[in-house]
Structure formats: structure tokens, C-alpha cells
Amino acid sequence: MKLYLGGPMFDLPNVRYNLALAAKIRALGYDVYCPNENASINDKSRTDITGERIYQADIDELMTANIFLCQLSEDSGTAWEAGYMDCLARHVDPARYLGVIGLATDIRLSTLPDPAKADVDNQSWALNAFVVGGIKTSLGLYTSEEALLDRLAGLLRGAGHPY
């Protein structure tokens, strides 16, 4: 089964995390596409890499995946990919495309809201409700790597296909 690992990928800590997470998922038995590993669209010394080329390369990989792993962040490209996979899973070929699974590890999610603080002073964190709803009604949304990996292992065993 193939998994496309989506999420923030533009700075060294995120690159390292993505590569480590890809290795853990591969250890479960998945074939993993991690965009950080695609040299054809990440070679920054080339001048012929365009947004269109990146889009097409990633869409081609998304079309060969069965699951999209959406690391919830403020990355609009990841949200676009999640919606694309959700459409494939719900409306194109539900037997082939299983859906979207989410990982939300932002530590601010653990902050309790403080009604005495308004606006930016209230340090609780919110995720886009539409994205959260879509992922929860697909393959689920997890706030720990351990829970995510358990769910992925179950999907490999055939447990919990939502469609």
C-alpha cells in the first residue's frame, strides 16, 4: 500500500522530521512518497523548476497513492492535496483511494482556552474546522505519532476502511 506524506517541508527541522516519519511508516510495510526525497522538483540549483512542474510531479504521486497523510499545519499546499485525495476517495474510486489520515502535533493544541483573554492573547490554538471535519470523517485525525502509526498498521491489516 502506498502512502503520500504531506506536510511542511521547507526548513531543516521539518525536512528531518519528514524523513524520520517516512522511515517509521516504511517500517510498517508502506511504500511512502515523501516530497522531500524527490530530487526532480527539489534541486534548488535548477532554474527550470516551476510551480506547474512541482504541482504535476506531486499530483502524479498522489494519484498512485492509496492514503494521504496530512500533517496539519499552516501549509496551504498540504490542505490542497488532502482535498484532492478526499475527492478521489469519496467520488472517484473508493476501493483504490482509502482517504486522508491526519497528524496534528502542534503543542499549542494542548493549551486550555482562557475566556478572560481575547484575540491573540488567548494562547489556545485552533485548526481549520472544515479541514478537521474532512479528515475525521475520512481515516481519522491523531495528535500523537504513536496513535497514527497504530492506525496505519491497522489499515494495512484491512481494519477500518471508511468507505
Domains of the chain, residue spans: 2-156
Correct CATH for 2-156 of 3.40.50.450, 3.30.365.10, 3.20.20.70, 2.10.60.10: 3.40.50.450
Helical residues (DSSP H) of 30-143, grouped into ranges: 39-42, 51-64, 76-87, 129-136
In tens digits, the chain (163 residues) has pLDDT values of: 999 999 888 899 999 999 999 999 999 999 999 999 998 888 888 888 888 999 999 999 999 999 999 998 766 788 889 999 999 999 999 999 999 999 988 877 777 888 888 777 777 667 888 888 999 999 999 999 999 999 999 999 886 555 4
- Predicted TM-score (pTM) of the model is 0.86
Cβ distance 140 to 146 under 8 Å?
A: no
Closest alpha carbon to 81 in 17, 40, 134: 134
Q: Which run of H or of E encompasses 63?
A: helix 51-64
Q: What is the pLDDT of residue 105?
A: 85
Cβ distance 14 to 6 under 8 Å?
A: no
Cβ distance 25 to 151 under 8 Å?
A: no
Q: What is the pLDDT of residue 161?
A: 55
Within 7-158, strands assigned E span: 31-33, 67-71, 99-103, 141-142
- In one letter, which amino acid is 25? I
